Each structure stands twice: as structure tokens, then as C-alpha cells.
């Protein structure tokens, strides 16, 4: 299945590999040599469902061109029977696994990490489980969206030189007027640290977070628009996401979908939101226009210069989708004329 989400998540790693190969061709440094910086969990009251994590750091003094094939073995203390583990991520500097089944309560465990480097001994640590498992990851709240005018800086650069010659001086930039969507996201509860969120914007139907399946039909991923932003859910100050609403040249209903995952690989989703007919179209000159959002006697001077936008919550929406399409078309036309 051609899953867009998997392609996006893998693109960073693939880009790093391609860059590394180009760098090697130009005589630059090869793939880093890694050493263990930190391992987890530790302590005497470890949750029974805690992930096992190894944090790495690059060591410039290590040997070069050495294969990195990390493995982790988990056993009860004093036993040589390995417990089945599932890999959650094998891209340095963070490697993580979880046990296929919850660990036993109040039991000591021993973990052996091996980097695969020849002659390097295992990194060994122990921990003891408590009585309980940590609460699973969940989300509290709903998506809320407000549109507002904004600007983006678009850069045009020549093709990068694989040998690292500086081409930044040859880049040109242009400031363009755009429409922004400010999306209030739900709050993450429970789970384990390294909680992240994915906010998807697609056209006409919400992004589908269904697991990959060989028999199920391919989930909808957007015909003209497919945009994703990633959020650090461990940061309590992050309460909304501001993203540019793409202009594919055709009018469409923007649909927003949100999913969260944690350090154990657990996932939580909420009801997606597709906007039908915004009550107050947003003007690129600031403020709001149209009808249905403010009382008729509101003066232009009393309105803020930054858009109050059109607020929506999951389950709400207008009654006439053609009004939304017409509003978006007008927005795009105004933006093109101002550009």
C-alpha cells in the first residue's frame, strides 16, 4: 500500500542516506560511529508496559566504515530465555523496543544491547517492574479551526551541488500572501514520553489513519492537497498549529485529521473535521468579511486587524457546501491578484 504517512516518516531517513552517499563521493565523512549515551527504563517501579529505549551519540574518534546492526535482548534476571520484543524505531540516535506482552509485576529484568560493532561488548542494565502498567495514550478535546491571512516566503534555489559548494547566495526569495489555518489540537493524556502528533490537511475527505492491510482498499489520502505538520505533545505550551492552506488551483473542502503516538508506539485519534461553509470569509487585508459571524451593526473599526477567522468544532459545519467553495475560490482569486 502506498501509505503517504509512511513515506513522509521515511523521507527524512532516506534523505540522510542519499546525502551520506553524495558526501562519501565527495570525500566527506562516512556514517557516524555511535556509542550508547543513555538507556531506559531503570528503577524499582517501572511500569509493566514501559518501552525499552537506547539513546545514542556520535563518536568522532571511533572507527569508520563499520556496520551498525543493533540488537536488544531482554530476559528475567538470572534466566537465559529471551522475551519477545517488537522494534519501534531503528533510526539513530534513538532506538526503542517494547515487549510483545506486558511484563510480570514486581520482577527483575536484564537488558543486553549490542551495537553490532566487532569487539564492542554489550551494554547491560537492569530494572524491576512495579505492580501496574502506565495509563494508555489518549486525547482530550476536539479540533477547532480558524482561518486568517498570512504571508510565506518562497525560496527558489539552483540544484544543490553534491560536493557541498555554497549555493545559498544564488537563491532568490519572494513573499506571497497566503491563507493560514490555525488549528487548536487536543491535549495528550497518559502514554510515555516522546509523544508526537500528526495534523493532516487534505481535500474533501479526511486523512485515513487506518493500519496498513493487504486486503483492505487503499485509504483516502487527498487528491489535490496532502499536507502534514508534526507537533511535540510533551511541550505543554503547544496548543495549536498554524499551517498554510495550499492552493492547488481548484476549490476544495479542507479536511483536518489528527493522530498522536507515544514512545511505546501506541496511537490515539479523534474525530476528524471537514469544513462545509464558513460563516465569515477571511480577507487577506486583515479582519473578517461576509455575514453570519458578527452582528450587522459591528463597525470596521471595532474589528481586529488580525482575522477573527471562522471557528469550527468537530461535528459542526454549515449547510451549504457551495458557499464554502465560492468563498475559497474568491480567497484564492484575491490572493493571486495581490501577488
pLDDT tens sequence across 225-263: 899 999 999 999 999 999 999 888 888 899 999 999 999
Lowest-pLDDT choice from 109-123, 156-170, 208-222, 319-333: 319-333
Instruction: Judge contact between 57 and 37, C-beta under 8 A.
Output: yes
| CA nearest neighbour of 197 among 237, 228, 227 | 228
User: Mean of the pLDDT values across residues 259-273?
Assistant: 96
E strands present in 169-318: 172-184, 187-189, 196-203, 226-232, 240-244, 254-261, 267-269, 273-274, 312-313
| CA nearest neighbour of 276 among 306, 256, 247, 290 | 256
E strands present in 115-195: 123-128, 138-140, 144-156, 172-184, 187-189
* Distance in angstroms between the alpha carbons of the first and the last residue of the chain: 39
All cell numbers assigned to 233: 505533545
Angle at 152 between CA 187 and CA 222, to 5 degrees: 60
Q: CB under 8 Å to 279, separation ≥6 — which residues?
A: 290, 291, 292, 293, 310, 318
Confidence tier at 91 by pLDDT (50, 70, 90): confident
Q: What pLDDT, on the 0 to 100 scale, is given for residue 136?
A: 95
Q: How far apart are CA 197 and CA 41, in angstroms?
A: 23
Amino acid at each position: 500500500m502506498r501509505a503517504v504517512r509512511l513515506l513522509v516518516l521515511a523521507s527524512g531517513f532516506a534523505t540522510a542516506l542519499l546525502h551520506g552517499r553524495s558526501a562519501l563521493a565527495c570525500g566527506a565523512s562516512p556514517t557516524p560511529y555511535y556509542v550508547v549515551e543513555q538507556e531506559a527504563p531503570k528503577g524499582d517501579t517501572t511500569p509493566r508496559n514501559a518501552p525499552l529505549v537506547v539513546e545514542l551519540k556520535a563518536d568522532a574518534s571511533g572507527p569508520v566504515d563499520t556496520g551498525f546492526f543493533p540488537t536488544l535482548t531482554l530476559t528475567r534476571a538470572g534466566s537465559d530465555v529471551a522475551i519477545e520484543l517488537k522494534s519501534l524505531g531503528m533510526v539513530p540516535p534513538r532506538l526503542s523496543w517494547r515487549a510483545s506482552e506486558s511484563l510480570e509485576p514486581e520482577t527483575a529484568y536484564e537488558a543486553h544491547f549490542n551495537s553490532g560493532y566487532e569487539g564492542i561488548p554489550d551494554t547491560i542494565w537492569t530494572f524491576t517492574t512495579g505492580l501496574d502498567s502506565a495509563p494508555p495514550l489518549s486525547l482530550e478535546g476536539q479540533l477547532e479551526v480558524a482561518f486568517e491571512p498570512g504571508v510565506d516566503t518562497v525560496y527558489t534555489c539552483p540544484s544543490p551541488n553534491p560536493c557541498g559548494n555554497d549555493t545559498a547566495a544564488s537563491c532568490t526569495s519572494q513573499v506571497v500572501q497566503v491563507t493560514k489555518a490555525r488549528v487548536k489540537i487536543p491535549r495528550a493524556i497518559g502514554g510515555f514520553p516522546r509523544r508526537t502528533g500528526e495534523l493532516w490537511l487534505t481535500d474533501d475527505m479526511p486523512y485515513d489513519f487506518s493500519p496498513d492491510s493487504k486486503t483492505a482498499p487503499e485509504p483516502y489520502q487527498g487528491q489535490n492537497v496532502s499536507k502534514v505538520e508534526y507537533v511535540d505533545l510533551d511541550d505543554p505550551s503547544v496548543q495549536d498549529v498554524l499551517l498554510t492552506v495550499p492552493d492547488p488551483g481548484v476549490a476544495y473542502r479542507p479536511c483536518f485529521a489528527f493522530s498522536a503516538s507515544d514512545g511505546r508506539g501506541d496511537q490515539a485519534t479523534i474525530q476528524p473535521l471537514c469544513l462545509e461553509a464558513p460563516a465569515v470569509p477571511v480577507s487577506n487585508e486583515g479582519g473578517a468579511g461576509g455575514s453570519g459571524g458578527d452582528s450587522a451593526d459591528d463597525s470596521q473599526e471595532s474589528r481586529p486587524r488580525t482575522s477573527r477567522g471562522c471557528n469550527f468544532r468537530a461535528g459542526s459545519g454549515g449547510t451549504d457546501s457551495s458557499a464554502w467553495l465560492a468563498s475559497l475560490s474568491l480567497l484564492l482569486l484575491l490572493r493571486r491578484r495581490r501577488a
